[in-house]
Amino acid sequence: MTALSAAPLVELSMDAGPSTSSGRTAVDATARLDSVLAYHTRTKHHIDRYAAGPGTLDWDAQPDPFRHWTDAQTLALPRHLPDLGIAWDALSDARPAAPLDVISISTLLRLSVSITAWKEYAGARWALRANPSSGNLHPTETWVIASGVKGVTNGLHHYQSQSHRLERRAWNDEATAPGLWLGFSSIHWREAWKYGERAFRYCQLDLGHALAAVSYAAALLGWRVQVLRLDSSEVAARLGLDRAADFAGVEAEEPEVIVALDASASLPASWLHPPQGGGHDCKAAEAATFMHYAGKPSLLDPRPLYQWPVIEEVATATRGTPPTPDPSFRRKPESSLIKLDPGLRRDDDATQIIFNRRSAQAFDGKSILPHAVFRRLLSCLLPGGSPVWGLWPHAPRVHPVLLVHRVEDVAPGLYALPRSEAALAALRETCRAEFNWDAADAELPLFQLIQAAAAKTARTLSCHQDIALHSAVTFMFVAEFDAPIAENPAAYRHLHWEAGMLGHVVTLEAEAASWRGTGIGCFFDDAGHDVLGFTDTRFQVLYHFAVGMPVDDPRLLTRPAYE
């Protein structure tokens, strides 16, 4: 048994963060920082030039969206989705923790990363999942580490979403303390196949969506989730991703993160009130490394046509540990003080809202987003406003700027929702001097920067995509950039995760109100910075997101997830 102590919040020895303890490490840190900044710059889309990508795409040669592990013991998970009977508005209520068993794991996976439907059109068939993904390419792989979970063999399992089953990858001879962890890795090629060099950014945004999806699913089970502060090399060791020989001849998997699921405490809305230490009073997590391994990963693309070495470079430069939770996060969340319209009821079943989440492919360009829905949605983006901020109890570093087109009682224009007081001050200093910064809400930290018809600007900035024009509101997620990345280059990943999490909150809140969202990874970076008046890289836009009234395509047939 080789269980390693992996207590949350414990800085492990292999932290790849910058250090001045030796000249060598300082040089490495500088090289890593340079590498990240160079990657970010070269993967910007410009109005007259897109970041480097493939010249041609053969859709029949798309990498397999599902990885299988052959010669591994498999466990078919129950496909039935239990009726949890929890209304969306009751998400934050206290509820007893679901038992640590195979049904709960199955439910957790179904509500976060499983297939939720198949779509068919003109002979083509593709799966949709609970988590969205850029280009529906799904670079994120999910791993389950189970110990003492009723109905699941102890060990490390790959989650095979195509047939909703576990493939046992590794195990130990002796039992360990009961526990359940989810691990995540990225297969860059799935995304790079289509998007070239910019693909690393999309993998990270997708991961943020997946983490957010897990936090909602866990909240419904009454479980607490916490990110383990493990260095990337420790994540790789626990998920068996560092066993290079096992991946010989197939696409490697980049270690991302492991989260612990705590089923021992029933949740008194704990994600709204994280306890001392920033929300991490889960039982000490002992995610084991393993002695015995089995299985061989499948090849996803036998004939890759391109290589994008810069992705491996930025992946190496951004390995490290997640940030430290911020103790000030314990304060009573602003969002719980905000008087939201009591008439706005969202009684629909939360599992159905999560399960039916889709990205809109088109918006109607005329419906007006009710003010109450708009305010509720914004309040959920603030610290404490969603289960996501229990999983990610850090000082907010990504802040929405909104291009409002059609929102009841809100004049069209550019608005900012700084998620911390410090960001408000810094953004005011960094943005165009002529912006008004007029308070636009009595309670929310929403500021009007300028009143203007902004829909065409939104479309132009979003790579000319009509979804940004026809939405009711288009978000630009603006990240504090230079400072966090200089402190730890791994923050480049974490800022994208946070942007993806914000996108996920927006999409689920929109869905709960019978509206819909769509992520927009394609945007012209510096054109957006020009609009905001950024003349340096203290802040950078990392993601766009549109919300509107969807127009469905009746030609698409929908089939059940698992028949």
Q: Which is nearer to ligand FMN, 51 or 440 (CB)?
A: 51
Query: At its nearest, how many Å lie between ligand FMN and the CB of residue 186?
Result: 12
Closest distance to ligand FMN from the beta carbon of 163 (Å): 18
Name which of 255 and 519 has its Cβ closer to ligand FMN.
519
In the complex, minimum distance from the CB of residue 211 to ligand FMN, in angstroms, rounded to a whole number: 12
Of 375 and 516, nearer to ligand FMN (C-beta) is 516
Where residue 155 falls (left for φ over 0; alpha for ψ -120 to 50; beta otherwise) is: left
Q: Cβ 151 to ligand FMN, closest distance in Å? A: 29
Quote the least distance from Cβ 522 to ligand FMN, whole Å.
Answer: 4
As a whole number of angstroms, the distance between CA 518 and CA 359 comes to 5
Q: Which CB sits closer to ligand FMN, 195 or 374?
A: 195
Measure the CA–CA gap between 320 and 490, rounded to whole angstroms: 5
Distance CA(387)–CA(335), nearest Å, equals 12
Residues contacting 13, CB < 8 A, separation 6+: 231
294, burial (CB in 10 Å: exposed 0-12, middle 13-18, buried 19+): middle
Q: Taking Cα atoms as reference points, which of 217, 224, 238 lies closest to residue 272?
A: 224
What is the Cα–Cα distance from 391 to 394, expressed in whole angstroms? 9
Residue of 502, 488, 185 whose CA lies nearest to 324: 488
Q: Are 489 and 33 in contact (CB under 8 A)?
A: yes
Two structure tokens written together for 373: 């829905």
Annotate 205-249 with DSSP letters as a single string.
Answer: HHHHHHHHHHHHHHHHHT-EEEE----HHHHHHHTTTT-GGGGTT
Amino acid at position 43, single letter: T
Min. distance of Cβ 519 from ligand FMN in angstroms? 3
Nearer to ligand FMN, 171 or 200 (CB): 200
State which residue, 202 or 329, has the beta carbon closest to ligand FMN. 202
Contact 39, 313 (CB under 8 A): yes
Shortest Å distance, C-beta 110 to ligand FMN: 14
The minimum distance between CB 502 and ligand FMN, in angstroms, equals 11
Angle 130-132-134 from CA coordinates, rounded to 5°: 155
* Positions in the binding site for ligand FMN (CB under 6 A): 128-129, 132-136, 202, 205-206, 209, 358-359, 465, 467, 518-522
Residue 103 dihedral angles phi and psi, to the nearest 5°: -70, -40
Q: Which is nearer to ligand FMN, 133 or 420 (CB)?
A: 133
**Alpha carbon distance 475, 457 (integer Å):** 12
Task: Give dist(CA 504, CA 527) in Å, integer.
Answer: 25
Cβ nearer to ligand FMN, comparing 317 with 520: 520
Residue 339: Cβ within 10 Å count:
9
In the complex, the smallest distance separating the C-beta of residue 465 from ligand FMN, rounded to whole angstroms, is 6
Bridge partners of 170? 156, 293
Q: How far is the CB of 107 from ligand FMN (least distance, A)?
A: 19
- Measured from the CB atom, the residue of 175 and 556 that comes closer to ligand FMN is 556
Residue 382 or 467: the one with the smaller Cβ distance to ligand FMN is 467
Q: Structure tokens of 58?
A: 């053969």
The residue (of 139 and 390) whose beta carbon lies closer to ligand FMN is 139
Q: Which residues pair with 143 in a beta bridge?
A: 158, 183
* Shortest Cβ 363–ligand FMN spacing (Å): 11
Contact (Cβ atoms closer than 8 angstroms) between residue 393 and residue 329: yes
- CA 369 – CA 405 distance, rounded (Å): 9
| CB of 400 closer than 8 Å to CB of 391 | no
